[in-house]
Structure 1
Amino acid sequence: MEMKLFDTISELDHYAAQLFAATLNHKPHATLGLATGSTPIGIYEKMIEMYRKGKVSFKEATTFNLDEYVGLPENHEQGYAHYMRQHLFAHIDLPSEQAHLPNGNAENLHEECEQYDRMLTEQPVDVQLLGLGHNGHIGFNEPDGSLQGGTHIVELKEETRVANARFFDSLDEVPKQAITMGVGSILKANTILLVVKGADKAEIVKQALTGPITTECPASLLQTHANVIVLLDKEAGRLL
């Protein structure tokens, strides 16, 4: 596990964006695993900036997102498909058919999960971007006595829904289910890029990176992966 601490968020975002650009410049048809939430926004802004300056192209790339809410109306502004268009896809040259997200409105959600896993098997992820939830979740893999390896439907913990309620008008509007890549799917990526920002994440960072490996802290399973790069601002890394 390689760990880097940054004095500023901007420096962290720039480093992460450069890593993605370097991957694509070396392998234009690379498969990128992408995430949503507040953590990646600055990274995506830097990637867009690099694209506009001609430093990287996404036209041969393929992307897979970690997760999507179940049951939100199509094009809902808090859906992750909308998020990705707003923060990245609408601003780069990635063909829309090469961008994949789980379909939270599929008629058969279990079949959707199986299809997503088949695509991930056919096009393994070269670099997977992850954030870290306050309870140690990665993707929407919540703490539990056991975890599912493949893409699956998950019941969201109340603390996760409360944390995401800031994006909705009320807690009642936050979906109770999501489709997420499983931890097993995530761990199949060649390189995992874990990005964590903020003093409020310092305790869970310490637990995930230095504590026991347990399904009660899904991110701790990253300790078993051979190629994890952890990018932290100085606040998130203050307990290490």
Structure 2
Amino acid sequence: MSSSWQVDRLVIRSEASRSDMAKTASLDLAATLHQLLAAKDRVSVMFAAAPSQQDTLALLCREKAIDWSRITAFHMDEYIGLEAGHMARFANWLDRYLFSHLPFGAVHRIEPHRFASPEACATDYACRLAAEPLDLVCLGVGINGHLAFNDPPEARFDEKEAVKVVTLAQDCRAQQVEDECFAQLTDVPQRAITVTIPALLAATSMICIVPGALKKEAVTRMLTGPVTEDCPASILRTHNQARLYIDSDSMPDVDRRAA
């Protein structure tokens, strides 16, 4: 059974199953893209790379009525130290599940191996974002409440940089093993490049997709606790056009529908 409610400015939509959630999220995502394309010649969209997004992206790939040639695609984070062809690299994940299936006008990938340093890669990506400001961000939430690779306690709501190099928190790295992206913790890189929270929030619209029991605690914290850097996802409650999609497994422990 589906339901919807609001916490601060954040609109939440809950569905009984993961598949129903993916269908609802993909339909709303497609509708948002149609609206943006009706208002602008070109649209910039940033996508997260994670198993939690896979079902929704698969349905989005069926939307042939969208003029994908007018859409520029970005992604939001990438590991440092993995070889270019590594299956766990987020750019490669998105190539498999999204970028290779749709005729985007342009695709911007974070590719640390092409630069003299990770910092140089971050600076280059920030320049590309500045040239094509984001209209829409499609993202998830980590088990520690992170957005992109902005993990507590290093996440900053007032970060000055649009893209930066970060050290990954232990629980964030453990999630990559739980998601079966890596065989063991020692395989998960310790550093990454990420788009920062202010840069994500600068998008006109945000669609956040968070299924599964592993995310239940994070969703509960983001919806029922304070807006705090200790749970970076809580900042979505301040965005004017943010929507959260969850399933019965990630439904928060404290129901705020009556709030």
Normalising by structure 1, what TM-score?
0.91
AA in 1 matched with 2:165 = I
Distance in structure 1 (CA, Å) of the matches to 2:154 and 2:68: 39
State whether residues 75 and 81 of structure 1, in contact with CA within 8 Å, keep that contact through their aligned partners in structure 2.
no
Deviation at 1:199, TM superposition (A): 2.3
The residue that corresponds to 1:11 in the other structure is 20
State whether residues 140 and 156 of structure 1, in contact with CA within 8 Å, keep that contact through their aligned partners in structure 2.
yes
The residue that corresponds to 2:97 in the other structure is 87
Match of 1:210 among 224, 242, 245: 224
Identity of aligned residues (%): 27
The residue that corresponds to 2:123 in the other structure is 114
The alpha-carbon distance between structure 1 residues 145 and 109, as it changes in their structure 2 partners (threshold 3 A), is closer
AA in 1 matched with 2:124 = Q
Query: Mind listing any 5+ residue stretches in structure 1 that lack a counterpart?
Result: none
Match of 1:193 among 207, 211, 215: 207
State whether residues 151 and 169 of structure 2, in contact with CA within 8 Å, keep that contact through their aligned partners in structure 1.
yes
Query: Mind listing any 5+ residue stretches in structure 2 that lack a counterpart?
Result: 1-9
State whether residues 77 and 193 of structure 2, in contact with CA within 8 Å, keep that contact through their aligned partners in structure 1.
yes
Per-residue deviation, residues 173-214 of structure 1 (Å, max 9, x unmatched): 211111000011111011111111112322211211221121
Per-residue deviation, residues 144-164 of structure 1 (Å, max 9, x unmatched): 165234211110111111211
State whether residues 199 and 238 of structure 1, in contact with CA within 8 Å, keep that contact through their aligned partners in structure 2.
no
Query: Is 1:40 aligned with 2:40?
Result: no
Distance in structure 1 (CA, Å) of the matches to 2:67 and 2:59: 13
- 1:156-171 map, 5 Å: 156-165=168-177, 166-171=180-185
State whether residues 67 and 101 of structure 1, in contact with CA within 8 Å, keep that contact through their aligned partners in structure 2.
no
Query: Is 1:61 aligned with 2:71?
Result: yes
State whether residues 21 and 47 of structure 1, in contact with CA within 8 Å, keep that contact through their aligned partners in structure 2.
yes
Which deviates further from its counterpart, 19-28 or 215-224? 19-28
Per-residue deviation, residues 121-144 of structure 1 (Å, max 9, x unmatched): 221211111111111111000001
Per-residue deviation, residues 10-58 of structure 1 (Å, max 9, x unmatched): 222122222232233334421111001111100111011223xxx3231
- Count residues with an aligned counterpart: 235
> What is the aligned-residue RMSD (CA, Å)?
1.6
